[in-house]
Amino acid sequence: MAYNFCPTCGTKLILKTAGDDGKIPYCSVCERFWFPVFTDCVLVLVHNEFNEIALAKMPYLSEKYESLISGYMQVGETAETAAAREVEEELGITELTNLHFTGTYWFHKTGVLMHGFIALAKKQKLTLSSELTSAEWVPVDKVPNFLFPDSSDNAAFAIYRHYLQEIKSNINHKIV
């Protein structure tokens, strides 16, 4: 979100050069730059010991496609804390192991920065939050049949590909 008026005093902002960031909205009354802000969220691929991935259907996203576990970060939370909280809230899984970061992904359509994670959980019955209409453990090779179609803007597929690379790497390490 780009500011047009100062959130502190309400003065119409002017564009002023802020070093190498270029022209940034500036309040001449408060003498403060107001850099654009955006929302952060987490996107978590949860897999189990049987090489299955938890996919969930969120009706506000799609009635047809399923997704990885996702949610917005809360003020004061780290991305890792938000990832674990979202998995617990949406699926009822309280124990994750090997939670690790895969990268960040910009979702242009909504102006959201997604922090991607992969985590291991023991296979268990999934307890759905009210945000979900369904969730299921899906064999890793069947996942592309359920996700939104692959595209440059689809962070879920990027994290899925990352997971496939990890599986391949683990197999190669065991062979050597």
Q: Tell me the domain boundaries of the chain.
A: 1-36, 39-175
Strand residue runs (E) in the chain: 14-17, 23-27, 32-33, 39-47, 52-57, 69-72, 97-107, 112-120, 134-139
| β-bridge pairing 32-33 and 23-27 | antiparallel
- Does residue 79 sit in helix, strand or coil? helix
Radius of gyration, alpha carbons of the chain: 20
Give pLDDT tens digits along the chain (176 positions): 789 999 999 999 999 999 999 999 999 999 999 998 888 999 999 999 999 999 999 887 777 788 999 999 999 999 999 999 999 999 999 999 999 999 999 988 888 999 999 999 999 999 999 989 999 999 999 999 999 888 888 999 999 999 999 988 876 555 44
Please state, as a whole number, how many other Cβ atoms lie within 10 Å of the Cβ of residue 127.
14
Residues 6+ apart with CB under 8 A from 163: 45, 47, 53, 118, 140
- How far apart CA 66 and CA 68 sit, in angstroms, is 7
**CATH of the structural domain 39-175, one choice from 1.20.1530.20, 3.90.79.10, 3.40.50.1370, 3.40.50.300:** 3.90.79.10
